[in-house]
Amino acid sequence: MKVMVVDDEKDVLLLFRQRFRKEIRQGKIEFHFAFSAKEALYYLEMESKKQNCVVLILSDINMPEINGLELLKTIKSNFPNLKVFMITAYGDDENYRLSQEYGADDYIHKPVDFDQLKEKIFNLSTT
């Protein structure tokens, strides 16, 4: 399963690689990292022409330029079959409401419970 993590904080790369080390080594999951919404959209556009493309986006909400909510809206318009989980450090009711309105498949609070996240991700592959 190919998953893209979109976050302007570059330390997420090491965090996800560490927390999913076993699953990556076993070939159960492959991560791609985008450090802006623009980079994510460019990658998705290029990947959409391939067969083994991203099936899940994990996106931070608070990012410069294009925030995660705008990214979510664009993804759901252009790639409606993609699953998108929004991740936020803030318990903001408005962000939650907009995430639901724009079609988020899940809404996760930081700090991320990686055991729960793994369960949610691998449940996607069985549905």
Domain ranges of the chain: 7-124
Backbone angles phi, psi at 31, to 5 degrees: -105, 145
Token pair belonging to 63: 């990012």
- The CATH fold assigned to 7-124 is Rossmann fold (3.40.50)
Q: Kindly state the average pLDDT of the residues 39-46.
A: 94
Q: Does residue 127 have a pLDDT over 70? A: no
pLDDT of residue 126: 63
Q: Kindly state the average pLDDT of the residues 56-78.
A: 96
Q: Kindly state the average pLDDT of the residues 28-44.
A: 96
